[in-house]
Chains A and B, each alone.
Chain A
Amino acid sequence: AQSVTQLGSHVSVSEGALVLLRCNYSSSVPPYLFWYVQYPNQGLQLLLKYTTGATLVKGINGFEAEFKKSETSFHLTKPSAHMSDAAEYFCAVSDGLYGNNRLAFGKGNQVVVIP
């Protein structure tokens, strides 16, 4: 079974500073990894995904993440935080081609951007 660990439920970052959200996964098969963003009272929007190939993946809104198999990590970064980045962020893993693609999510990080 797949699982994801996200530490630190609330993350505060100053506007213009680096955003770093950590994600570690556990999977018995080659994982597919995702970051989603959720704004208040809305569904989930895909930020970026890793399936195969290049381990550094770029997503929307200037976010990127790097898949590191040796560290079982998929950390999300953005060089310069913007006020509009305030939201909840979820890391997720699926079994990709080996199963039904159901997603296992972490507990999420609530990002607060300080002006």
Chain B
Amino acid sequence: DTGVSQDPRHKITKRGQNVTFRCDPISEHNRLYWYRQTLGQGPEFLTYFQNEAQLEKSRLLSDRFSAERPKGSFSTLEIQRTEQGDSAMYLCASSTIGGSSYNEQFFGPGTRLTVL
């Protein structure tokens, strides 16, 4: 399977615990995006990387959230001191970059987080 993969698919945690999610993009893709989708809403942009550099962070990404993409390959999204409002589906997408054509984002299956 050469698509975007995310791990775990589901995570249940207690309020106040830390959680970490992983995203493995399509191998030749330079850009990696994180989105959050709450119940009944469309996905909302959180942050994106170009290779290993984190180039933009949304205001939704509070200081409890941190994302990394070491070596420009897989990425991790960590949430510290989880709150019930963090319960959502966390989606990862990747794309190529360059040229004059649109670079389609390919989405992974998501990690569903439930904070009790």
A residues neighboring B (CB under 8 Å): 4, 6, 9, 32, 36, 41-46, 49, 51, 90, 92, 96-97, 100-108
Residues in B lying within 8 Å of A, measured CB to CB: 4, 31, 33, 35, 40-45, 48, 50, 55-56, 91, 93, 95, 100-105, 107-110, 112
- Selected contact of B101 from candidates A51, A90, A104, CB within 8 Å: A51
Given A49-B102, A97-B100, also A42-B42 (CB < 8 A): no
Cross-chain contact B109 with A43 (CB below 8 angstroms): yes
Nearest 7 A/B pairs, CB to CB: A105-B42, A43-B107, A44-B107, A51-B102, A43-B109, A102-B45, A90-B42
In the complex the two chains form, is A108's CB within 8 Å of B41's CB? Answer: yes
- Complex CA gap A36/B33 in Å reads 16
Q: Are B103 and A106 interface neighbours, CB within 8 A?
A: no
A-B contact pairs, 22 of them (CB 8 A): A4-B42, A6-B42, A9-B40, A36-B107, A43-B107, A44-B107, A90-B42, A96-B102, A100-B55, A101-B31, A101-B103, A101-B105, A102-B33, A102-B56, A103-B35, A103-B43, A105-B42, A105-B43, A105-B44, A107-B40, A107-B42, A108-B40
Task: Please name all residues of chain B whose beta carbon is closer than 8 Å to the beta carbon of A100 when the two chains form the complex.
Answer: 31, 48, 50, 55-56
Across-interface contacts of A107 in B (CB, < 8 A): 40-42
Cα A102 to Cα B44 in complex, Å, equals 10
| In the bound complex, CA of A44 to CA of B41 (Å) | 13
What is the chain B residue whose CB lies nearest that of A99? Answer: B56
Instruction: Name 4 extra pairs, CB < 8 A, besides A100-B50, A100-B55.
Output: A44-B107, A49-B102, A101-B103, A107-B40
Q: Would B104 and A43 count as touching, CB distance under 8 A?
A: no
